[in-house]
Structure 1
Amino acid sequence: MDRIIVIGAGQAGASCVAKLRAEGFDGALTLIGDEPAPPYQRPPLSKAYLLGDMALERLYLRPSDWYAENTIDLRMGQAVEAVDAAAKTVTVAGAALPYDALVFATGSTPRRLPAEIGGSLKGVHVVRTLADVDAMEPEVTPDRRVLIVGGGYIGLEAAAVARKRGMDVTLIEAAPRILGRVACAETAGYFRDLHGAHGVTIRENVGLECLNAADGRVVGAVLTNGEEHPYDMVIAGIGVTPNDVLAEMAGVTLDNGIATNARGQTSDPAIWAAGDCASLPYRGARIRLESVQNAIDQAEAVAKNILGLGEDYVPKPWFWSDQYDVKLQIAGLNMGYDSVAVRDGGKARSHWYYKGAALLAVDAMNDPRGYMIGKRLIEAGKSPAPEVVADPESDLKALLKA
């Protein structure tokens, strides 16, 4: 193994090359990114960075000279033009680079509003890259009216930042409730009330019919219930799609992204995938995990497996979201849950997801203790009785010894 190329200079790509060097790989190592900036953190973009609380340099995952010091050929602002799996080459800037192992860490792309309803107008934004947020920032000013389309965590985080910046915020969700695909009704209700208390107007069961324009810029919207309102800008938070075009070019199997086995290897033994772009086997299903934790852990597992470790990656999912003065921490995956135990400790609150008697996941709002204990219980395969965790007087820590 002499030459490894990693395509995608986000969290997964940066973690992969760092782990390869840490594990002793001393061959040629290339990291290719289509953005002009070196690898950086994405979660703070729509929060601390947009609020002006984090300088650009603090976003960077590593100092810029770290890559050269570790003999990593970091190619910024370069889009891969072709992948030839038969020849084992990647074409960048007209040059074919050979590889022995190739890693796709290409991430995902936010869904945009359709152009036919005004999605390409000026003032319509998505939140994903540094360029996205830099383009949006001058418009996030007090007293302007913003429409946020989509009631997932991205939309809710954008709403919180917009309110902190003094904007008039309306959020619409076409489904019956916000967080419908990712959280229980109890968690949705908690965040609906939180945003309402901060002055955000949330409209559920209401979609976007079209955007109104003047001189090529959004000036308002028509909703699916027939209402028409003026807006100065629009933020779309309607999900993401995996970046798998290059993988398709390489001829590897796709299935809700780039399909991998439990070790991160694709249908081509020389090609691997990690992060948002990769789908992996999990509890009899195939899933993609869109989180920083998975990007790091899966990429590091791939690095070790490329070097011959031969060990399955078993995800231990965790997520977080910051909104106003609330920190939401999520442990586990709630897929298939059929009941929820609510532990209400006043300012600290947690929702515990069960399938039958099995604990699957925990949503903890300003409850780091509940989150940490819930995470350890899930990882240990322990499932305390729902009535025990729902009792705010019960000693959660004692459950770890049960």
Structure 2
Amino acid sequence: MAFLSDTLARVKPSPTIAVTNKARELKAAGKDVIGLGAGEPDFDTPENIKAAARRAIDEGKTKYTAVDGIPELKEAICRKFKRENGLSYTPAQISVGTGGKQILYNALMATLNPGDEVIIPAPYWVSYPDMVLLAGGTPVTVTCGIESNFKLTAEKLEAAITPKTKWFIFNSPSNPTGAGYTAGELKALTDVLLKHPQVWIMSDDMYEHLVFDDFRFVTPAEVEPALYDRTLTCNGVSKAYAMTGWRIGYAGGPAHLIKAMGTIQSQSTSNPCSIAQYAAVEALNGPQDFLAENRKVFQRRRDLVVSMLNQAKGVKCPRPEGAFYVYPDISGLIGKTSAGGAALATDEDFATALLEETGVAVVFGAAFGVSPNFRVSYATSDAALEEACRRIQAFCAGLR
């Protein structure tokens, strides 16, 4: 239809949201569905954070705020970066947006020109390539398979960089794989980036607090301070603080970039919700002890899911370092036919048949740029995970 913009042809709707919506529809129609598609913790927002939001309402903090964040929140973010990442930022170097997604989008919109390339390791979060396309840039995906634990190597990064490269998007622990980079692995990448002064680093640290065993989280500007002036360190309260619906994301970076991002935001959404901002101040400044308790729950669920999926015929499931996803390989199942008669030529066929025949909703791997795989979010109850994994085992056992 000629009325619609050509931009729409460059992007597709989010497959993870589509799967969650489909599961919701089937559930509403009375089907027994277990949704493992949504990337959000099943915990409630901590009480002290909710109390701070109620207090903000009672105190009338319901007006417009500064476009890219209230001073109290910017100061809390500065303290967080110093305390947890050893990074020093001033409030002028902080941007607050309506969720982490807006922060990334603003930065790309403020910096990309036609022909600019953005390196994105695959598997990637579904929105990265589409946001680059929306901003007029060219996504350059670099496939990182199961043989490297879905992690980018220095050699692959070096090979992908061209004179047109403007950004490198880095995400650890990763959505969709849960793979986390050690300080040594990240240092190998930052050593490459030091040689290419035209490349900026966008570090998506949203899963920083969801790391397991003795894994220690690090972020690029912390590992290589010489990259501080061309790194945008992005984060938010969604995952760690169980605040997905509050929609608060933030970033620290060079003041001129932050100012440009504020200009973009001033002409789109303007300020993030004032109440959510005051809640986020409490999240960052308040007690942090529940983070360790939540981590224990997620680690237990990870171990359960990895163990049960590895017992499913033809499924190979690596054990990730963080986040709340696993990304099993199903190359052993492609070409087979399900008990219900569905031919499994792709991982999308697998996910569709699994949902229709067993009521388990997962996201197919092609959505994240690496196939044949599927993503499971284990941010749901142990009982639901056990039952879902049992159904997946039975589905795989019935393939012929």
The verdict on a shared fold, with TM-score over 0.5 as the criterion, is no
Compare relative contact order (CA 8 Å, sep 6+) and give the higher one, 1 or 2: 2
Q: TM-score, normalised by structure 2?
A: 0.31
More helix by share: 2
Return the structure number with greater strand share.
1
Superposition TM-score, scaled by structure 1 size: 0.30
